[in-house]
Chains A and B, each alone.
Chain A
Amino acid sequence: MSDRHGSDRTLEARLENAFAESPVFADADVFALRVHDALERNWLVRRLVIGALGLAGGLIGVVQLLRSGLVDHLGAVGGAWRLVNNDLTGLPVARIFSELFGAGPSTGAEVLWMSGAMAIIALGLFVTRAIREF
Chain B
Amino acid sequence: MTQTPVFLGLAARASAHDMDLVSLSVGGDRNAFGELVRRHGSRVRALLRRMGADPAMADDLAQDAFLAAFEQIAEFRGEGAFAGWVGRIAARLYIRRWRREARMPLGAEATDEDTDPRMRETGANTRIDLDQALKGLSKVERLCVSLCYGAGLSHAEAAAALNAPLGTVKSHVKRGLDKLKGALVAEPSPSAQERAYNE
Contact = CB atoms under 8 A, between A and B. Distances in A.
Interface string B139-178: 0000001101110101110000000000000100000010
Given A3-B154, A18-B128, A28-B42, A36 B37 contact: yes
Given A1-B148, A15-B149, A35 B197 contact: no
A5 to B, nearest CB: 11
B43 A22 contact: yes
A26 B198 contact: yes
Interface stretch (A39-47, A106-114, A116-124): A39-47
A32 interface: yes
Contacts of B197: 23, 25-26
A3 B67 contact: no
A61 B188 CA distance: 67
B194 A35 contact: no
A26 B45 CA distance: 12
B22 interface: no
A31 B188 CA distance: 26
Contact of B180 (A15, A22, A32): A15
B62 interface: yes
B188 A32 contact: no
Contacts of A25: 41-42, 45-46, 197-198
Given A35-B66, A39-B67, A3 B155 contact: yes
A31 B30 contact: no
A11 B145 CA distance: 12
Interface in B65-90: 66-67, 70, 83
A42 B59 CA distance: 18
21 contacts: A2-B154, A8-B181, A16-B149, A22-B43, A23-B46, A23-B194, A25-B45, A26-B197, A28-B38, A31-B37, A31-B62, A32-B34, A32-B38, A32-B41, A34-B59, A34-B63, A35-B63, A36-B30, A36-B37, A38-B67, A39-B30
